[in-house]
Amino acid sequence: MLKRSIQVRLFQYANQRMDKLVIQGGSQLSGTVSASGSKNSALPLMAGTLLCGDGEIVLQRIPDLKDIRTFSKLLDYLGADLSYHNSSLKISTSNIRSITAPYELVKQMRASIYVLGPLLARFGQASVSLPGGCAFGPRPINLHLMAMEKLGASITIEKGFIEANLRSKRLKGAEIDFPISSVGATGNTLMAAVLADGVTTIRNAAVEPEIETLCRFLSAMGANIQGIGSTTLIIEGVTSLTPATFSNIFDRIEAATLLTAGAITGSSITVNDVDPVQLTAVLGKFEQAGCRIITDTDSITLQSPETLLRTDIIANPYPLFPTDMQAQWIALMTQAEGTSYVIDKVYHERFNHIPELNRLGAHIEINDNEATIHGPKELTGTKVMSTDLRASACLVLAGLVAKGVTEVLRVYHLDRGYERIEEKLGRLGAAIQRESYQEFA
Ligand code: EPU
């Protein structure tokens, strides 16, 4: 019996086909690519459509990504009508028939928690599966729940679900002080507060461009929000919102990852369709590392130095250096002269990429939330993989400069957040291609 079940499992694993990126390292890059729309901005915008039960909302510059498809499936499950064409996503949430975000979808993407605030605000109830573990350490949602309770929801956790119900007819405006800056909790609270009765003040609100964009989208639909872009948001609730057409911002992490591809290969490249201001902290670090940065209103050119200089970073909330670029920066520093230090103050355990970089020949130590990178080291290609999005991007960057062939396995992590990265890097001159393979456990 036991033998039979093992055979069955082996058979199942043997049939798992996946994609990998195969990179021949050492190519010099040149030319120009365009940044896609932001994933982390698109997701709350999509959730925000749940607040408007009347007519069709058009979201432009929405990237074609796995996470966007997962969130679309969630909205579809709730009863929304969606269509996607040429980066434009049309959504109507007039016929919502469920207030439940099921485990099967939430476990694929933690950002599903974004439906909590809108569902509560519009329907007075929401049932959202708890997201479960994350590949890079604990990611609690206590601040989301605290804010919903302050706004008048009663929250219980039952059978792995957040069960939220209104204690009165509408959510009630409240004073909400976040002890730490949270993008997700700020977004969820904003979306709940726009339809609440009275005034809500959010203090220590996250100031990431994705939050500012969500504020602008909600305002375009008729929400009344003061203090946009600051750490204090004052929201006067309205009774309903009207549909709007809204254009998403560029993906600052994708753009910065592409610039890192230029820097790690000693090349000069340009990324178009960006707002350089949103990358001020990252561009400053490139300059410290010896790169020349030339910005225009909507483009950034990076020219690499002869020798990359060691440059420390501390990942922190915006406008400081983003945690979502920490892994890519570590890859870059493996090629810099001297020892550099990278601290992540947002996610203390987000270092999945380091053992894999070391397998490629890097010399990096981790101590608590600090990585010490001894550079420069010649990397040599092999098979590598990672279990999260930015760690996978970091391995692709390392592959661009490694001697020989690097195979980055399980590309589905990368596909969550980078729109056809191999095509963009290929256009810049990288020798990179996607291949399908069979994964054996
Ligand atoms: N936190 C709590 N309690 C909460 C919420 C957050 O303690 O209820 C803590 C987190 O553990 C973390 C800090 O607050 O230490 C900040 O987390 P935040 O809530 O800002 O993160 P998030 O909203 O869950 C978004 C991005 C992440 C990005 C972080 C930080 C989306 C969909 N995700 O997550 O993006 O790392 O902000 O900037 O917007 C990625 O794109 O690879 C990614 C992980």
**The pTM of the whole model exceeds 0.85:** yes
346 Cα nearest atom in ligand 1: 15
| CA 10 – CA 438 distance, rounded (Å) | 12
pLDDT digits (tens, 9 = 90+) for 368-399: 999 999 999 999 999 999 889 999 999 999 99
Using a 10 angstrom Cβ sphere, with 0-12 exposed, 13-18 middle and 19 or more buried, the burial of residue 5 is exposed
- Report the nearest-CA residue for atom 10 of ligand 1: 139
CATH topology for the 39-247 domain: UDP-n-acetylglucosamine1-carboxyvinyl-transferase; Chain (3.65.10)
Tell me the domain boundaries of the chain.
17-36+250-438, 39-247
CATH topology for the 17-36+250-438 domain: UDP-n-acetylglucosamine1-carboxyvinyl-transferase; Chain (3.65.10)
Residue among 139, 320, 352 whose CB has most ligand 1 atoms within 8 A, to mutate: 139
Query: Is 134 marked active-site?
Result: yes
- In the reported structure, the alpha carbon of residue 285 is separated from the centroid of ligand 1 by a whole-number distance in angstroms of 22
- In the reported structure, the alpha carbon of residue 432 is separated from the centroid of ligand 1 by a whole-number distance in angstroms of 31
Among candidate residues 324, 391, 345, 403, the one with its CA nearest the CA of residue 364? 391
- In the reported structure, the alpha carbon of residue 347 is separated from the centroid of ligand 1 by a whole-number distance in angstroms of 8
- Per-residue pLDDT of the chain (441 residues), as tens digits, is 444 444 445 445 456 889 999 999 999 999 999 999 999 999 999 999 999 999 999 999 999 999 999 999 999 999 999 999 999 999 999 999 999 999 999 999 999 999 999 999 999 999 999 987 678 788 899 999 999 999 999 999 999 999 999 989 999 999 999 999 999 999 999 999 999 999 999 999 999 999 999 999 999 999 999 999 999 999 999 999 999 999 999 999 999 999 999 999 999 999 999 999 999 999 999 999 999 999 999 999 999 999 999 999 999 999 999 999 999 999 999 999 999 999 999 999 999 999 999 999 999 999 999 999 999 999 999 999 988 999 999 999 999 999 999 999 999 999 999 999 999 999 999 999 999 999 876
- Report the nearest-CA residue for atom 15 of ligand 1: 346
Among candidate residues 305, 312, 265, the one with its CA nearest the CA of residue 284? 312
111 Cα nearest atom in ligand 1: 32
- In the reported structure, the alpha carbon of residue 141 is separated from the centroid of ligand 1 by a whole-number distance in angstroms of 9
138 Cα nearest atom in ligand 1: 11
318 Cα nearest atom in ligand 1: 38
137 Cα nearest atom in ligand 1: 11
One-letter amino acid of 9: R
* CB-CB neighbours of 102 under 10 Å: 16
| CA 247 – CA 37 distance, rounded (Å) | 9
Among candidate residues 395, 379, 408, 420, the one with its CA nearest the CA of residue 18? 408
Among candidate residues 216, 278, 287, the one with its CA nearest the CA of residue 253? 278
CA distances in angstroms from 367 to 343, 351, 354, 372, listed in the order given: 10, 10, 12, 8
Residue among 38, 108, 155, 183 whose CB has most ligand 1 atoms within 8 A, to mutate: 183
Spell out which residues line ligand 1, taking CB within 6 angstroms.
40, 43, 111, 139-144, 180, 182-185, 206, 323-324, 346-347, 389-390, 417
- The reply to whether domains 17-36+250-438 and 39-247 share a CATH topology is yes
- In the reported structure, the alpha carbon of residue 258 is separated from the centroid of ligand 1 by a whole-number distance in angstroms of 22
pLDDT digits (tens, 9 = 90+) for 140-196: 999 999 999 999 999 999 999 999 999 899 999 999 999 999 999 999 999 999 999
- In the reported structure, the alpha carbon of residue 224 is separated from the centroid of ligand 1 by a whole-number distance in angstroms of 25
